[in-house]
Structure 1
C-alpha cells in the first residue's frame, strides 16, 4: 500500500522570520501521523528550516522532511544564481521539486533539462518530485493526455525501473494552480489513473503500483478529503495552503483519518 505524501511548496514567499514562525507553527499544530510530509521553503531559508527540523527529529511519528524547489544538473561551475544538488544535500534536503509549471512557463525549462535534473538528483540520492500538468487551452482542445504523456515520458527518459520507483509524480493542472479552481475528484482521478497506466506500460505494473502520484492545484482543507479518497491519488503538493500552518496541519489530519 502506498504511503500518503503531503508536501508544501512555499514558492517565493516568507521572510526569514516568517519562515521560522511557519515551521514552528506547523510542528506545534500538527499531531503525530504516520505519513510522509515535506516542506519546500525558498532556497535562502533552507538552512534555517533544516535546523529546526533536525531539532524535532525525536518525534517518532512526525518526521517532516526538507525539500528544495529547484536545482541545477551540474555539480558546480560558472552557473551564476544556480544551486547544485550537493548544496541542497549539504543543508539537509531529502526532496527536490522539478519541472513545476511555473518553472516551465516563466523560466523556459524544457523536458530535456528537467530530465537532466532528475538524473542528477537520483545519482546523488535526492528524491525528485516531478511536476506535470496541462494548461487550460490544452485541456479545452483535448490535448491534456498528449501533454501529460510527453512530460512524463521525457521527464523520466532513460531511467531504470528501480530509479522511477523512487520518484514522486505530482499532477498539477496549470489552470488550477493558484486560481482557486480545482479539478473535480473524478477528473483528477481520471488523470492519475492515466499516469499510472503510462508508468505500467513503460516500467511494469510493480513500479506503477509503487510510485506515488500527488495532486496539486488549489488544494485546501475543504477539498482534500474527496481528492485523497480517490484510488490513485496518493497525496498532495500544496501551494498557498502550505503557507498557513493551520491549513497545512488540517490537511495532514484529514489525510490521516
Structure 2
C-alpha cells in the first residue's frame, strides 16, 4: 500500500477534467491517490473497493467509471478488474533507474489483458530510465482486447480506450464468507505464484495464518493484494541489512 501520491494543480484546469461531472472528477482524483494504486498506474480495483473507500452506492461508482472510460481517463479489464490510468506516467515519470527497475517488477505482476497492454504503451511513451530488457518486454506485450469491446475499439489506443460497463459488485467488499474452505487454497496458490515458491506446501502453520486473517474480516481479494504489495517491497525482497527475504505467508 502506497503512503502518498502526487496530483498536480493543473488537474483542475485541464479541459478534460473540467468537462467531467462532479462525481467523475471525484472518482478520477480518488484513482490518482487511492491506496490501491502504484508507481505505474496499473492496479486491480473492483467497484466494491472504490464504493467502500468513497462511501458511495455501487450504482454511483459504476456510473462514474463509465464516464471516465468514455473520456479516455482510464480503462479496465472486465474480467480481472485490473485498471490503468492512461496518462499517469505523463505526470509521474520515473525519477531514477531504481524506480524504473521497481516499475518493471510491478508491471510483471499484472495479468495479460487490455489494461496491461495499454499500460505497456504508456510506459513506452512516457517512461524514463527504461532498461533495454524492460523496453523489449514492453514491446512484446500482446495487444489483448476483451471480446466485449465494441468494434471501433478492437485495437488498443491511448487516445480513446473504451471498455464494457464495469461489473456491479455491491457496496461492501466483504462479499465472500471468510469461512469458505477454497479461499485458503486460492490465497496460498496466489502467494506461491507471486513469490515464486512452487514447491512450498500448505502446512498447518500457513493454513492457520490465512484462516486467522479471514476471520478478522479481510477478504480473499485483500489478502491477495497484500501478497502483491509485499512482492514489490524492497525490504521484504531482500534489500535490507541482512540480505534476507521476508516473504513467507506467516
Same fold (TM over 0.5): no
Task: Please give the TM-score of this superposition, normalised by the length of structure 1.
Answer: 0.27
If asked which structure has higher relative contact order (CA below 8 Å, sep 6+), I would say 1
In the superposition, the TM-score normalised over structure 2's length comes to 0.28
Where is the strand percentage greater, Structure 1 or Structure 2? Answer: 1
Larger CA Rg, structure 1 vs 2: 2
